[in-house]
Amino acid sequence: MTYKHTVQYYETDKMGITHHSNYIRWMEEARVDFLKQIGWSYEKLEADGVISPVTAIDCRYKASTTFPDEITIAVSVAEYRGVRLKFRYEMTDAAGKTVFEATSEHCFLDRSGRIVRPERELPKLHECLVSLASE
């Protein structure tokens, strides 16, 4: 699935280049949108008492972006192992050139910090993630 983000002026540094920290924010924007598109919005997860914190990020900056570039962010499930979920991100500019690649890893916890096992506690989410990870 894809998400579009237009680089904002305030996201650039003194040289007019997008500051590196913004790509991590865009990953979150795209991930939140992805989960909403598959029917498991953060609001729904939180209403079910589940949070999904980031446990790791790995990223590669491939090319610079500037204001007002339109960036397309492709998000997919790279891996799902029950309690661990890994997303893959590829950001491209309007010409289709890859500007950034990354993965983020997440776990599932309840509000007290206890590990949630979707297979047992959220079987519909589990089925959805299994099917997306096998695509």
pLDDT of residue 113: 95
Quickly state the pLDDT bin for 134 (edges 50, 70, 90): confident
pLDDT of 6-58, one tens digit each? 999 999 999 999 999 999 999 999 999 999 999 999 999 999 999 999 999 99
List all residues 6 or more positions away from 35 whose beta carbon is below 8 Å from its beta carbon. 41, 42, 45
The CATH number assigned to the domain with range 2-133 reads: 3.10.129.10
Contact 72, 4 (CB under 8 A): yes
Please state the domain extents for the chain: 2-133
3-state secondary structure of 31: helix
pLDDT of residue 135: 76
